[in-house]
């Protein structure tokens, strides 16, 4: 006898399939949520790490800026100290320059020249005054050249002006100030020689003597005026000539 299943098995199978589908859908949703949470967490961690690195870099940049400012301040202090050192060295090296300058001015000025103005600008000295003639100025410029502390005289103006009959000409000339001790100081540095003289020792000044006007040189054959005569050469001592011995080997 054939058996016929009259129960609603199709409906039950459909319900079972729907149930499986819902469970799979729920598992898929849970898996999707878990995956989303993991991805979100991963990116959050990456963002936090990048923010931490950015904060570290900002801190290091701030420290570098502060160090740079400190270095700039130290450089400024260094430049100021070097400039002060340079000024002190210049003052130390030229402390006697003014003394020698006025001494040279007194020594080099010839008769018939008076000074009305002296102006110094760095290493340039401007001298103004009155003179009797152009020859006096020529002598004055030669004296500058031979003084050792002033070189390269340059005559800017000389002209007859004013009512002074004794000093009818006015002049203006410039000279360069030099330090003859600079070459000695450079030569006295370590390695320049076995012994170096003391550069800071004061230089003894010679007594002042009035300058005399230039005179013509005497002829080469004539003796100078006021010069002592040259001593004559002493006569060579004479010795007696030896005599020949006589017979018998005796001297007479």
Q: What is the pLDDT of residues 108-118, one digit of tens each?
A: 888 888 888 88
Residues with Cβ < 8 Å from 224, sequence gap 6 or more? Answer: 218
Residues 116 and 40 in one domain: no
Q: Compute the mean pLDDT over every residue in the chain, rounded to the nearest whole number.
A: 74
Structurally, how many domains does the chain consist of?
Answer: 2
CB atoms within 10 A of CB 150: 23
pLDDT in tens, 27-70: 999 999 999 999 999 999 999 999 999 999 999 999 999 999 99
Query: 112 or 197, which is more confident?
Result: 112
Helix H or strand E encompassing 82:
helix 9-93
pLDDT for residue 163: 77
Q: Please compute the mean of the pLDDT values over residues 69-93 and round it to a whole number.
A: 90
Mark whether 171 and 112 lie in a shared domain: yes
Buried b (16+ CB within 10 A) or exposed e, 126-141: ebebbbbeeebbebbb
181 shares a domain with 112: yes
Residue 251 lies in a domain: no
Q: What is the pLDDT of residues 111-159, one digit of tens each?
A: 888 888 888 887 888 888 888 888 888 888 888 888 877 888 888 888 8
Instruction: State the maximum Cα–Cα separation within the chain, in Å, rounded to a whole number.
Output: 205
Please tell me the distance from the alpha carbon of residue 151 to that of residue 35, in angstroms, as a whole number: 95
Q: Which CATH number do you get for residue 121? A: 3.30.1360.100
Structural domain range at position 55? 17-93
174 and 101 fall within a common domain: yes
* 4 in a structural domain: no
- Considering the entire predicted model, what is its pTM? 0.40
The CA angle 135-141-146, to the nearest 5 degrees, is 125
Q: In terms of pLDDT, which residue wins out, 4 or 32? A: 32
């Amino acid at each position: 006898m054939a058996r016929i299943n009259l129960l609603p098995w199709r409906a039950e199978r459909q319900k079972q399939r729907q149930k499986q589908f819902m469970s799979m859908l729920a598992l898929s949703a849970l898996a999707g949520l878990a995956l989303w949470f993991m991805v979100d967490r991963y990116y959050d961690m990456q963002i936090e790490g990048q923010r931490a690195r950015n904060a570290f870099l900002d801190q290091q940049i701030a420290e570098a800026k502060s160090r740079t400012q400190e270095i700039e301040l130290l450089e400024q202090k260094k430049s100021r100290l070097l400039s002060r050192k340079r000024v002190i060295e210049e003052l130390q090296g030229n402390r006697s320059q003014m003394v020698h300058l006025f001494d040279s001015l007194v020594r080099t000025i010839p008769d018939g020249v008076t000074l009305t103005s002296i102006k110094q600008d760095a290493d340039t000295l401007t001298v103004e005054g009155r003179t009797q003639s152009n020859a006096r100025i020529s002598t004055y410029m030669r004296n500058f050249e031979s003084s050792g502390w002033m070189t390269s005289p340059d005559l800017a103006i000389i002209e007859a002006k004013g009512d002074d009959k004794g000093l009818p000409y006015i002049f203006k000339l410039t000279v360069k100030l030099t330090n003859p001790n600079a070459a000695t100081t450079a030569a006295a540095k370590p390695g320049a020689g076995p012994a170096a003289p003391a550069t800071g020792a004061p230089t003894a000044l010679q007594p002042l003597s009035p300058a005399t006007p230039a005179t013509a040189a005497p002829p080469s054959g004539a003796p100078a005026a006021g010069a002592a005569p040259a001593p004559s050469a002493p006569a060579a001592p004479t010795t007696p000539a030896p005599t020949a011995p006589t017979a018998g080997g005796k001297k007479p």
